[in-house]
Structure formats: structure tokens, C-alpha cells
């Protein structure tokens, strides 16, 4: 994991230090490709690689098995084999789908990530989870496939619209809620004073998530499930909105608000701490209430993570459907 300014210029040389392979696919979407793909390809070519650019439509709807097949078809046509590797150039959708292709192409080839959103830098590029969506839910098909290298060039974040940038703070706040009360307090007065402050924040979130993942890489003991705080309802909100109404971080913010309501009832979370969480989400222009006409009846799920207080969380087995319905109706 490398975090700094100007890393795209050094990208090919950095990859050469880690991978001896010659051929590779660069997977990007229709938004990010025009911004950065030519720069990445030039850097790879100058380092002796032979890159093939594969561009897919931007958006959550591209996280589908049909798109996986289309990417694999293009890789096969380009002559890529088990000695090749895949680069995901983009946000969480690109990281998830390129990682999944890397996990299954020739039964597994190396995966390199270049996250181009703050959300991907602090969350989806860490931990090795890859996957695609199905009509019944997010990430129902996937694999754990750790990236060989992650390059976080904070310069690319300058291209992000404010809404896209702010959504990352839902994941950052989630990390603070479940594991870092000190970071939560700092976020209450946090101002990005430059690249160094942002790099420090990214590193801190990577450290939090990586520590949890290291204790439960394949999500089998329940430890990694703590990272799902707010996601149970958040994913359901995304699905109910057909993945168009809310960005992932915005849906997560709503999920966190609902999880706090349930945590008060089932885990003893103090109402004043719930209020502090809601205030912090709003500080970054994240939603904490659903629109009046939103189909709340579609937001249904079954597994839940609660917080006992800012800085800690646990898996709860006694949250009922009524609890979830009550929390969603209150959004």
C-alpha cells in the first residue's frame, strides 16, 4: 500500500518492483478512463509492460456477471494469460469487479488497485473482498482475493465532485464508531488543510480496517462483521432505490442512523452519543432521513451490528424485524 502525491507518474516503475509479469489489463469506467487511463498506460509502457485498456460503463449496474464475462472476453481476445495481471483504475465498483475477474481469470491472477475515490481508498481497496451484485442484493457473488499492490495517489481526488468526496466520510465515521473514539472526536473539528492531512486520515482508516480484516480475513469468526455496522440497512436502502437514489456512502449514512436507533434499544447506546453521530454525519452533508416518498417497505434485512458506544461495536443476535422496521420508519 503506497499513499502519496504524484504516484501515477511512477506507477509503472512501482509495479515493476512487485510483479515480473509483462502483459496486463487496465479496467476503468467511462468516467475515470478519460481522466487517467492514458497516463497509466504510458507509465506502464515505459516500464516495459504491455497494457490493454478495458472500459466499462460507469455506475453500480456494471457490477454484474454479464459485465464480468465481457471483461474476460476482451482479455482473452487480447491474449492475456495466467502470467498476466489486472489493474483496477477507479472507485469501489471498479475495484470490486476487477478484483473478482482477477480472482477467477485462469483461476486467479494478481490484482493491482488504483483507487480514484476517497471512499475506495479508505474502504473497498482494503481487505480483498471482491464481487458483483445480484437482483436480490449486493455482492452476493464474489471471492476474497487480496491485491498485490494498492496505489493511493491523493492528487486524483482533486477531480471528485464534493458529493462524491463527502460520501467517503460515512465509512470513515463508521470506522470511528466501531473502533476509534479518538478519531471520532477529531472528525468533529476536522478540516482538510492539505494533502498531508488527507494522507494521514487515509492511513488511519486503512490501519483500522486492516487490523480487523487480519483477525478474520474470510469473514468466518464474526470479527470482520463489525465492519458491516450500518451496512445491513444501508445496502437495503441502496437496493430499494435501484442503486440510483443514493450513493453508497449516503445509503450507509442512513444505515448508521438506523443502526444507532437499534443500538439504543438493544445495546445501551446513550442517546447523546447517537445525537453526536447524527451531527457528525450531517457535518459532511450526509443524509440521516429518508425522503417521505421513499419505499420504506422494501428496506428489509436480517443480520445486525450494534454499537454500545462510540469506539466499540458487536454482533447482535436479538435484533428483531420489528426493531429494523421501527428504525427504518424513523428515518
pLDDT band for 65, please (50, 70, 90 cuts). Answer: very high
pLDDT band for 284, please (50, 70, 90 cuts). Answer: very high
CATH of 162-329, one of 3.40.640.10, 3.30.950.10, 1.20.1090.10, 1.10.3720.10: 1.20.1090.10
CATH of 2-159, one of 1.10.3720.10, 1.20.140.10, 3.40.50.1970, 2.60.40.10: 3.40.50.1970
Instruction: Return d(Cα 72, Cα 25) in angstroms, integer.
Output: 10
Look at residues 26, 55, 281 and name the one whose alpha carbon lies nearest to residue 166: 281
pLDDT at 206 over 80: yes
| CB neighbour burial string for 52-87, b if at least 16 within 10 angstroms, e if fewer | bbbbbebebebbbeebbeebbebbeebebeeebbbb
pLDDT at 287 over 80: yes
Predicted local distance difference test score (pLDDT) of residue 23: 97
pLDDT at 313 over 90: no
How many CB atoms within 10 Å of residue 48? 10
Instruction: Return d(Cα 116, Cα 155) in angstroms, integer.
Output: 9
Average pLDDT of span 89-94 = 96
Predicted local distance difference test score (pLDDT) of residue 317: 61
How many CB atoms within 10 Å of residue 22? 12
pLDDT at 52 over 50: yes
Predicted local distance difference test score (pLDDT) of residue 327: 80
Predicted local distance difference test score (pLDDT) of residue 302: 45
pLDDT at 142 over 70: yes
Predicted local distance difference test score (pLDDT) of residue 300: 65
Residue 205, SS3? helix
Residue pLDDT, tens place only, 250-263: 999 999 999 999 99
pLDDT at 321 over 80: no
Point out the least confidently predicted range of 73-87, 166-180, 204-218, 292-306.
Answer: 292-306
Average pLDDT of span 131-143 = 90
Using only the alpha carbons of the chain, give its radius of gyration.
20
What are the cell numbers at 171? 465509512
Average pLDDT of span 180-187 = 95
Instruction: Return d(Cα 321, Cα 325) in angstroms, integer.
Output: 6
Mean of pLDDT over the chain: 92
Instruction: Return d(Cα 201, Cα 192) in angstroms, integer.
Output: 9
Percentage with pLDDT > 70 across the chain: 97
Using CA atoms, how far residue 57 sits from 63, 139, 241, 307, in Å, is 10, 18, 19, 37
Look at residues 114, 115, 104 and name the one whose alpha carbon lies nearest to residue 144: 104
Predicted local distance difference test score (pLDDT) of residue 243: 84
Domain boundaries, the chain: 2-159, 162-329
Q: What is the dihedral of CA 106, 107, 110, 113, to 10 degrees?
A: 100
Predicted local distance difference test score (pLDDT) of residue 194: 73
Amino acid at each position: 500500500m503506497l499513499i502519496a502525491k504524484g504516484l501515477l507518474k511512477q506507477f509503472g516503475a512501482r509495479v515493476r518492483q512487485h510483479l515480473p509479469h509483462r502483459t496486463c489489463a487496465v479496467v476503468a469506467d467511462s468516467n475515470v478512463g478519460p481522466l487517467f487511463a492514458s497516463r497509466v498506460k504510458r507509465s506502464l509502457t515505459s516500464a516495459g509492460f504491455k497494457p490493454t485498456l478495458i472500459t466499462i460503463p460507469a455506475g453500480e449496474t456494471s457490477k454484474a456477471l454479464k459485465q464480468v464475462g465481457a471483461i474476460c472476453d476482451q482479455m482473452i481476445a487480447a491474449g492475456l494469460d495466467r502470467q498476466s495481471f489486472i489493474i483496477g483504475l477507479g472507485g469501489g465498483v471498479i475495484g470490486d469487479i476487477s478484483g473478482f475477474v482477477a480472482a477467477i481469470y485462469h483461476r486467479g491472477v494478481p490484482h493491482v488497485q488504483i483507487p480514484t475515490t476517497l471512499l475506495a481508498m479508505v474502504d473497498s481497496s482494503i481487505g480483498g473482498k471482491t464481487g458483483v451484485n445480484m437482483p436480490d442484493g449486493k455482492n452476493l457473488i464474489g471471492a476474497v482475493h487480496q491485491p498485490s499492490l494498492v496505489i493511493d495517489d491523493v492528487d486524483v481526488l482533486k477531480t471528485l465532485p464534493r458529493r462524491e468526496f463527502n460520501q467517503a466520510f460515512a465509512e470513515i465515521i463508521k470506522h470511528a464508531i466501531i473502533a476509534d473514539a479518538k478519531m471520532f472526536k477529531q472528525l468533529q473539528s476536522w478540516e482538510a488543510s492539505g494533502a498531508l492531512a488527507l494522507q494521514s486520515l487515509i492511513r488511519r482508516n486503512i490501519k483500522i480496517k486492516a487490523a480487523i480484516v487480519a483477525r478474520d480475513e474470510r469473514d468466518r469468526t464474526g470479527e470482520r462483521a463489525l465492519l458491516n455496522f450500518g451496512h445491513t440497512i444501508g445496502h437495503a436502502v441502496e437496493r430499494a432505490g435501484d442503486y440510483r437514489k443514493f450513493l453508497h456512502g449516503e445509503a450507509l449514512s442512513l444505515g448508521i442512523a438506523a443502526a444507532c436507533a437499534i443500538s439504543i434499544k438493544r445495546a445501551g447506546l446513550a442517546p447523546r452519543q447517537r445525537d453526536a453521530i447524527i451531527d457528525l454525519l450531517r457535518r459532511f452533508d450526509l443524509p440521516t432521513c429518508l425522503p417521505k416518498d421513499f419505499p420504506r417497505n422494501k428496506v428489509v434485512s436480517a443480520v445486525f451490528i450494534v454499537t454500545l458506544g462510540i469506539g466499540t461495536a458487536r454482533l447482535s443476535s436479538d435484533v428483531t424485524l420489528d426493531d429494523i422496521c421501527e428504525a427504518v420508519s424513523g428515518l
